[in-house]
Amino acid sequence: MNVTGAQVLFRALKQENVDTIFGFPGGAVLDIFDELFRSDIRHILVRHEQGAIHAADGYARVSGKVGVCLVTSGPGATNTVTGIANAFMDSIPVVVFTGQVPTPMIGGDAFQEVDITGITRPCTKHNVLVRRIEDLGRTVREAFYIARSGRPGPVLVDIPKDVTRAVIEEKDISWQPNISNNNNNGKYAFTPEACMKALDMIRKAERPLIISGGGVLLGKASEEFRTFAKKLHIPVTSTLMGLGGFPATDPLWLGMPGMHGTYYANMAISHCDLLIAIGVRFDDRVTSKLDAFAPHAKVIHIDIDPASIDKFVKAKASIVGDCKPILNFLNQYVSEKGFTIPEGQTREWLKQIDLWKEHAPLTYCRTGKTKPQHVVETLYRLTNGQAIITTEVGQNQMWAAQFYHFDYPNSFVSSGGLGTMGFGFPAAIGAQVARPDKLVVDIAGDGSIQMNIQELATAVNYNLPVKVVILNNGYLGMVRQWQELFYGKRYSHSDIANVPDFVKLAEAYGAVGLRATHPEEVESTLQQGLNEPGVVVMDFHVEPEEGVYPMVRPGAPLTEMVLSKEEKAA
């Protein structure tokens, strides 16, 4: 029997158990969309390709599956580049299918032609242009395999139109992935010796601390991680990407470290004698001044990517591999072989951490206009901490990370590495598709939300009842904060007070719009918005010049924190 390239693609997708695609059609992918018409795979039609890639990204983060995105050649492909880079930085498994002009026309500057594999080479885990229909089935399967194996990441498959139209005998299709590189396939078998060395260091530690990151969530190892930390009674700080990997309501929890980390997390890093890093890559926003990072600590680094080990922070012991089996192995020693840190050895340390917590808890000044932190806190209370929260980038993101306390894995979806404004709302759409049973809230700023506002149409179209909470301060808030602190309050082009009427805008798209201009309206507005069955945009007019604190100046040691605006003024 003969099948077309488009049919081969869909068979491969079926083999990979794909049930949802986020996409946007165009000339080069007409044959694929024609096949999609007949397929039972769900397609979410976005309004801009950047929305499609971010939605696929959000879908992947929440479902733990590979997100899939399908766009046309040329501008369709280039519109996904920001989202691809975003997924690359945060190690999110997505497969992006781009249409391409027919093979004889490639390289000739044809209409809607762009060298998308050339463009995305440095920001994909892998990419490939499929020139022959014989290779299509296998290549698609390889793309999924590469995207999810080892350290996950985005893979782009560029398919010329003539390949989608070509016909092949069914028996001539090869489906078997053939990946010769063993380094990349997550085949790193960790050695028991490395684990024993780590355990030996843990046994001797007087001031141990765990820093966990996105790797714990990507490795689906938060259960194992909780067991590990709790059994050994070691305090935990998690990076932005790691939020939800450890319950924020647990007494061992120290909050987020780094530039906008808590006082006690940063103090703990700066004074610990053993730092157990699990699934982190030591971003500069976490370490700040490298020479002053964890100066007294021996470091145990557990990560699936050998390139992360010793990249910035030297590890005394390193375990390369998937953190789930590694933590299982370590937990076995704890539960079955009675491994423990000697009684009382860490007592002083835990006491010291409690003192730090008392000295400078995470807080803000509650008087005056509506405080954005108050909005997030109230949202946390009203949702019982059960919502999936996505964020945009900037102050809204930091306040969400600080004041919504994440107890569950995959409940915080945020652009960590790339810092992509406009990510949160389409990501929320993807998250809602993955989890129709959950409440999904995008915590946004008035700047970021306008970057992919067109996706309101998508959310309304598919009745994906995402709630958007806009912390509207009339500024590009984080830019303004840096200008306030480091550029003599010269607010160069960060004032966006001329924002649209978000209530009317929501209504224009067929969503519900609500507004709260005073502190006492915050709770009722949130309550009303959360009770609405459909898409809701809530516009909170907040204190325009509120800042995110604590703050470590870029390049300063973690111990040099400005705890509040008032302290800074003093």
Partner 1 sequence: MLRKVREQEQTISILVNNQPGVLSRVAGVFGRHGYNIQSLCVAETTNPEISRITLTSESDPDFTEKIKKQLDKLVDVQEVIDLTGPAYMQRELMLIGVTIQQETISEIMRAIQMFNCRIVTMSPGYYILEATGHPDETAAVLGYFQPFGVKEINRTGAIAVNRKNPQRQM
Partner 2 sequence: MTVRENTISILVNNKPDVLARIAGTFSGRGFNIESISANITRNPEITNIIITTIGDQETVIKLEKQLNKLVDVLEVRDLTDVSSAQREMILVRMKVTASNRDRFTQIVDIHSWKIVSTDADYCILEVTGDRQEIEDSLSLLETIGMEDFVRTGIVALKRCSPQQIG
Q: Residues in the site for partner 1, rule: CB under 8 A?
A: 103, 106-107, 115, 117-118, 121, 131
Identify what 79 binds: partner 2, partner 1, none; CB under 5 to 8 Å per kind: none
CA quadruple 30, 31, 37, 43: dihedral, nearest 10: -60
Tell me whether residue 151 or residue 271 sits nearer to partner 2 (CB atom): 151
Identify what 125 binds: partner 1, partner 2, none; CB under 5 to 8 Å per kind: partner 2
Tell me whether residue 14 or residue 121 sits nearer to partner 1 (CB atom): 121
Min. distance of Cβ 275 from partner 2 in angstroms?
Answer: 21
Q: Could you tell me the CA-to-CA distances from 349 to 160, 352, 456, 460, 468 in Å, in that order? A: 61, 5, 49, 52, 41
Cβ-Cβ contacts under 8 Å for 341 (sequence gap 6 or more): 202, 203, 205, 208, 232, 233, 234
Tell me whether residue 28 or residue 36 sits nearer to partner 1 (CB atom): 28
Tell me whether residue 34 or residue 115 sits nearer to partner 1 (CB atom): 115
Identify what 106 binds: partner 2, partner 1, none; CB under 5 to 8 Å per kind: partner 1
The angle subtended at Cα 422 by Cα 82 and Cα 412, nearest 5°, is 100
The enclosing H or E element of 515 equals strand 512-516
Tell me whether residue 231 or residue 316 sits nearer to partner 2 (CB atom): 316
Tell me whether residue 106 or residue 556 sits nearer to partner 1 (CB atom): 106
Identify what 115 binds: partner 1, partner 2, none; CB under 5 to 8 Å per kind: partner 1
| Coil vs helix vs strand at 134 | helix
Q: Could you tell me the CA-to-CA distances from 562 to 202, 259, 263, 266, 338 in Å, in that order? A: 32, 10, 9, 12, 43
Min. distance of Cβ 122 from partner 2 in angstroms?
Answer: 5
Identify what 305 binds: partner 2, partner 1, none; CB under 5 to 8 Å per kind: partner 2
Of 163, 49, 166, 50, whose CA–CA distance to 101 is shortest? 163
Q: How many CB atoms lie within 10 A of CB 294?
A: 24
Tell me whether residue 126 or residue 207 sits nearer to partner 2 (CB atom): 126
Min. distance of Cβ 70 from partner 2 in angstroms?
Answer: 22
Min. distance of Cβ 529 from partner 1 in angstroms?
Answer: 49
Which residues are known catalytic residues? Answer: 49, 111-112, 161, 478
Q: Could you tell me the CA-to-CA distances from 406 to 230, 240, 438 in Å, in that order? A: 17, 11, 15
φ and ψ of 360, to 5 deg = -145, 75
| Coil vs helix vs strand at 268 | helix
Q: How many CB atoms lie within 10 A of CB 104?
A: 10
Q: Could you tell me the CA-to-CA distances from 21 to 41, 283, 489 in Å, in that order? A: 7, 31, 45
Min. distance of Cβ 106 from partner 1 in angstroms?
Answer: 7
Q: Could you tell me the CA-to-CA distances from 68 to 142, 169, 202, 223, 231 in Å, in that order? A: 14, 27, 41, 27, 39
Of 559, 570, 461, 451, whose CA–CA distance to 509 is shortest? 461
d(CA 196, CA 328): 13
- Which residues sit at the interface with partner 2, rule CB under 8 A? 117-118, 121-122, 125-126, 129, 146, 151, 179-181, 183-184, 305-307, 309-311
Cβ–Cβ < 8 Å for 24, 52: yes
Tell me whether residue 108 or residue 488 sits nearer to partner 1 (CB atom): 108
Identify what 306 binds: partner 1, partner 2, none; CB under 5 to 8 Å per kind: partner 2
Min. distance of Cβ 128 from partner 1 in angstroms?
Answer: 11
Largest CA distance in the chain: 79
Q: Could you tell me the CA-to-CA distances from 28 to 43, 107, 161, 397 in Å, in that order? A: 17, 15, 5, 37
Identify what 397 binds: partner 2, partner 1, none; CB under 5 to 8 Å per kind: none
Min. distance of Cβ 31 from partner 1 in angstroms?
Answer: 21
Distance in Å from the first CA to the final CA of the chain: 79
Min. distance of Cβ 169 from partner 2 in angstroms?
Answer: 24
Identify what 107 binds: partner 1, partner 2, none; CB under 5 to 8 Å per kind: partner 1
